[in-house]
Structure 1
Amino acid sequence: MRVILELVLILVLSTAQCGSTTKVPRSDCQKQCGHIDMEYPFGIGTDCSFNGGFDINCTNQNGVFKPFIGDFELLNISLTQSTVRVLNFITAYCYNSSGSMEVSGPRGFNGTNTPYRLSDVRNKFTVVGCNTLGYIVDDGNRRYQSGCVSTCRNLSDLVDGVCSGMGCCQTAIPNGMYYYRAGFDMGFNTSQTWSYAVLMEASEFNFSTAYINSTRFNDTNAGRVPMVVDWAFRGEGSCVTAERNETGDYACLSSNSKCVNSTNGPGYFCNCSQGYEGNPYLPDGCRDTNECNRHPCPSGGVCHNTIGGYYCSCRAGRKFSGETNACNPDIGLIIGVIAGFLALMSIAFCRHMIIQRRKLNKIKQEYFRQHGGTLLFERMKSEKGLAFTVFSEAELIHATNNFDKSRIIGQGGHGTVYKGMVKDDMQVAIKRCALIDERQKKEFGQEMLILSQINHKNIVKLLGCCLEVEVPMLVYEFIPNGTLFELIHRKNQGLQISFGTLLRIAHEAAEGLHFLHSYASPPILHGDVKTANILLDKNHMAKVSDFGASILAPSDKEQFVTMVQGTCGYLYPEYMQTCQLTDKSDVYSFGVIILEILTGEVPLKLVGPEMQRSLSSVFLSAMKENNLDSVLASHVKGQESMELIRGLAELAKQCLDMCGSNRPSMKEIADELGRLRKLSPHPWVQDDAEIEIESLLGGPSTTTNGFEIVTSTGYATEERENLPMNPGSSYYAR
């Protein structure tokens, strides 16, 4: 068994040794001769070249080592072009009278198996001289012969650098030549000057007129000029045959090499594959080329080396342009980036808007809940006949043109009133209330529901509200014809306005307050009764308005004590002692309204003697002194009977009683005013007076006795000097 294994091992090793025909140079081979690098398949010494045809002789000439291929000194080796450059000998000839001449011998490489062929692409047969016929002959199987003639009839026609048959001539050779002979026609060359003939590298020859009639051409080049020789592996024929490697002599050893057919005679040579460089005749001799070192990319481009190649890229925002061979701005990418950025911004903005809208809706829902909107909706649903609307904030913004200042029709301590137009082109008065406290927020929905159910001809109708804002907004019916304040203190100055008209308006206002006190459930205390809060509709009917200071009548002691607010001049005297708002508080304020009708004066003057500033004090003092005439308006004295005037004065005195319990109720006041109206001596003139009044209503604000009226349209006006004692105490102090 052991013998069999040994035999198998011997066979394997023998097979491996027989198949290992790869030719590589010894590691100790000479790498250089003179200044020329010895690149395989060429080599100096045994087993240093691919075969004998590539042997190089390194010869010492006068102490300088030079490489030689046969008789030719080697100038350089090109693996990629498969060429060598050598120094070729110049053939010289001189005619003399005895007919003697000097001719050099044959030049080239003997044998068809030599790797070398004279380059037919880069060499030309060149002849220099006058009246000279030079020829080149291949005595081999091709029997090739050619030549050219150079003449010099007129030396002045010779031009440096031009070889066109005058002073010199050149001719090409066919490919496949490895040997040639140069000579001259002695019958044609009769001038007694030197002539030269040589096969040389065409790019190295530059004609000079100094070459004629001298030995300068030969001397300058030391008798030798460069010649290019093509080399190849001739024995295997073409690449198709060589790549079969039947003889084991395939020369392209590198894994990244390729075979190239020779164009000058049979054979092939090797090159590194695209993207590689080095020696294809050595294993692993072809290495990846870093093409980026040659800067192959266009201006502005970035080169990226890859194994066997490279690619170029342009910096961000640019792309390659074949027309300009440069990286130009990528308009499409820029537009795409901008569009993408805008799209992302739009998405982010929309997302932000959605989030903000959700937050806003959540806030609105919270406000709606705080203001009792849920309770209000439940009651509205259960009472289907309830004529009350819950408006959205957007609806009221649209109705008032975003609460434009030009829409303001009233402004006071409880809020600002705007004229608006809601659906069905209905005119309304929209009140943006002032701030309210947390307790009022909780009770707002329930109280709005109560106010919405008030339906009396002498009370401004509450049509709806908006609860989805921090401070609720109220929507009332629009009353167009001004206020009782304007009628008494502004419009009628210098005019005889019917006293009966004023009396009727006061009676209607009393009826409205009586309804609030007696028939509303629960009763409602107005809290800010004054002539500015008694509006006049298109028929000049009184409408009690502005429930900003109103509260529901308290049902227990805990609710009874509350800080209220009102207007100076109308406040009841026990205000500072009790801070209690009762039905008798409204009665006191109504007594001041009767005084305004009787006297034509404002309730409180901010200028003048201190004792004359309060209208109620002046009136009560006059009544105490039995001097009523001193406070009555001049036109009142002449229009009405003294019985009517004294009756009104007595009613006013009762309303202004310092003790609230002694004051009459609003029912008693309404009944008494109804009785007194019957005492008017001229009831038939009432309609004419009202027509006269209608033409006087409306107009810009003015200042009367220190009060500025900030509305002329007749809705919920207040004086700027309205001085609430505690603005945050009332339920609807908005």
Structure 2
Amino acid sequence: MARNGGAQRPTLQFISLSLLLVLLKDELAVTEVAAASSSLALPGCQDKCGNVSIPYPFGIGSNCSKDSSFEVSCDSTAAAGYTPTISIGFPKASEVIEILPENKVKIITNRLWLFNASYNESQYFLNLINTPFYLSQDRNVFTTVGCDILGYMISGGIRVGGCLSTCIFMSGTVEVNKRVRIAPTGCNGGYGCCQTSILPLLQYLELQSSRETALNDTAYAFIADKEWLGNDFNVTAYRENPTAERPVVLDWVIGNGTCETANPSSNCGPNSYCRNVTSGDGYACFCNRGYEGNPYLRQGCHDIDECADTKTNDCGWTCVNGPGNYSCSCPHGYHGDGKKIGVGCMKEKEVKRYIPWVIGIGSSFTILLLLLGSFWLYQLHKKIKSRKMKENFFKQNGGLLLQHQISSEESNVEKTKIFLAEELEKATDHYSINRILGQGGQGTVYKGMLVDGRIVAVKKSKKLDEEVDKDQVEQFINEVVILSQINHRNVVKLLGCCLETEVPLLVYEFISNGTLFHYTHNQSEDFIFTWENRLRIAIEVAGALSYLHSSAATPIYHRDIKSTNILLDDKYRAKVSDFGTSKSIAIDKTHLTTRVQGTFGYLDPEYFQTNQFTDKSDVYSFGVVLVELLTGEKPISSTRSGEGKNLANYFISSIKENRLFEILDVQVVKGGEKDDIEVVANLAKRCLNLNSKKRPTMREVSIELEGLRMSAGHTMIQQNLQQVESFIAVPSSIWDGASTSNGFRSLESSVTVPLDDQPLLFNTSSYSC
């Protein structure tokens, strides 16, 4: 028994000692791991030089840094002890003051400093090219100290910033060198000091200065850390110690490229993320939220114990730490989220008491969500329905056909635009009544402004009761394409159309000065309606109609020529508009219609009998407009009796009774030559002939009116030559005028070049007001 008991005691002691050694070993291992995680340098490397921490990728010695750019030397001096230095961008190594968070390092250098800049100076100072370092824009500032000195920075031969430092002097002094400086403290734009920011990503930099006056004053220009300068830089104190050490802050990156194109995992450790820190040419690593440490080390980012500090968590009861985060809980017998603010923790009895409130609030919230969801679904359904309706209108109005024609004919791609309904609604302020330019039998015209700033006129036609068949749709689309190709200076440009509405919308260029009808029948102080202006407008309208009839790719009959459809632009040039009833006609064809279209007073009488609309129908309507310009009378007037109510009949009967000059407008009689007036009146009479075959074509009308204008210019030249002939003997027979017949001049023979052959090359600017 004694032997057994004695043998048992040593065995228990051995087991106890072994357990103690295991526990001590685990404790040492934990301590080593904690020490390794708290160190910011590579394992086995020195993490401090003097009082300065040296975190990786920086390192003391070549084996402890990422590469030579981050290598730090730790030198010992008798006076200062151990001092870390780094050799980047400067001829001499720079002292490292601090390696800051957010990838910054603060160093001391005297190289970014220009001393006693009495003359123009230039010196090489900084070259960080091919290194991962940049001058920090947000931490550094460029400063110039001195009187009338301009300091500036140069990078790659280009000035990249600078400022002029000036001084304010007391008056009454004579000698320049004895002037007294006022308030030389403070550096906020003057008084011997100025500051300016630097550009980002600077790696190469020179400082230069130039003297603006002959002052003999010591000057300085330098770059330094904003924190070192302070909010109120003391110029006087700096002048007393100008060689003081000036810290500069550099930014740095761990790798080239971006987080998307590079391989950041090769530089960033676990529990970290990559972030671009320059304009696409560098990135850096940062610890994830809930972690801290050095993200460039393999085990550098370690979990933060938020539960260890009440300031880093909002738990009111029990805090449980987790990887990168924490959670709050309630003790046994309590329910809630365990937070200081919010539900907190309540006993089970209290929870039961609040159950009805929770149910009520939850039900209300659920009902609110259902209402919001229903409203959203209604809006979505409404939007889908509206889109489908627009698609149906687009197909119904020939949108697919128009798209096909646009895509099949390259010349039309930029000339015919299909507008969206929302685009025109926004342009016209949802077709506000304040945007209405005019209303007629065919529809309403609105003024609108497109997103690109162009002012347009949007014509919204009235809804038709009859259904539009396929042939009519095809004809409408063909007309839109044809009309949009018309490019004549005296025709309102059709910019495009919108086919997403029940009735198609047409978009025209906006003409600013109203209709010819207004200026013909109402006096205006802005525009004096002289004979010259009336003749010019008649020539412009005749030229436009001649172009439509004979020079366009496909002949086009307007079918509603009247003074209200002739607009005047900002220079009072005529623009033929409103092609709502126009038709594109095959050559040598007429248009047969089953109902009267046009405006009474302007309609061709032959049209009522034959129901055939020809080019001569437009000629008749133009003749009425011509009579309006001559007489200033309206096409239909109740003040005239009998057949005289119709202006055309009234005009023809007045000519037969030799009363032409009795019915003419005062401005016509006052400003026009008698012969010219008679020529225009005879032309109007021929246009109003009841037999369409005896009417001239619009081409002939245009040529004759142009001939009249050319004859007026010919007469002025002839008068000038007659004055010259009194001094030199030059025969004037070459300037003989045109012959006359039947009391009226015929000028058709004097015109040799048809003006409609090149309608866009003819210049009418000299006739613009």
So what's the TM-score if we normalise by structure 2? Answer: 0.45
Structure number with the higher helix fraction is 2
Look at both structures and tell me which one has the larger radius of gyration over its CA atoms: 1
Structure with the larger RCO, 1 or 2 (CA within 8 Å, 6+ apart): 1
